[in-house]
Structure 1
């Protein structure tokens, strides 16, 4: 069984914090109008698998492997019946291929046995699947089923703490804290906006503060170079997806 979610706080967030957070999100939305999931997929099963595979690697590497992987194993039944060695060979370039192969075999078998080969569209069901936590479940819900969800990856967690939206470090507590600041309908796109900004400008080691569109509202302004010319050199036109 998945771990129980922590209790939601009873107190409402500060009104000024809510306004600042939503202003930042609107500005990021204007900055990244094309923001979306950077993993390629054709259906919920593909999105579920590539999200699991994206751990400890880049979306670009996963996208390169995807056509071969689903050309060989297009359905949960086909993947559940895959020969381990062949599956390991396909996903080998992604690293941790033995553990990831084990996850895909168990995940696919669970889909066949419990859900007739269909990816469930409920978070409570998704998190019971092998290798699927709340982050992966929210990616699938938001992008394959249009069910709002907040994706707390390393970029999202880093930025919301820099923005001063929360001090929490536990991903589930972060998810709930940020969810209280925004209407549910905005959760999926909020995730994309923040993750895109983290990949392109608000880097972990050296954020491009002098080129940041939300610098005026960011308590962490100055952690990176504030000179516009110097900061511009750090901006990536594409994230480290």
Structure 2
């Protein structure tokens, strides 16, 4: 009789142990799944906002940006300023800055919360010729439309642009993005230096002034 009682007690203990192990196994498998989901969501959020760091920039044209971090035109200096102010300190973009001022768009660009700017480098404006540039500078409305065709009302990094394929400029017209990295183009214009961070925009220096299609 005593042996039978001992056997029953032993079986009960074994059953309890198995139940406890099963519960622990479920708990241990649940936590990694929760962690993975949280991590994935956080990563997706980081990618979706289009914000970049100075270490994310790419392109041969970046060599023309001042390298001294104390220089306001350097990548570090530009990162803290709104986009029009940041561009005004960059030696690659003196013609663009003059055009933005002529079109009275400095405050408009600086006040945006999150935009993408395709910024033609000085040689791109030089291809227009001094006479054409002077003519456009005297037509703020026309010049303003051209410049707004270089701005997207959402902030993208290079990966975001590549994934989107087509983005819409402030003029309401489409800009086609092709390639990736150093082969990326926007409406056929090569990206010379991409993923430049500013306070309210991600900037891509391009090698051509984009012309809006006729309405």
Q: TM-score range by the shorter chain?
A: under 0.3
Give the structure with higher Rg (CA): 2
Bigger share in strand: 2
Q: Which has the higher contact order (CA 8 A, sep 6+)?
A: 2
Bigger share in helix: 1
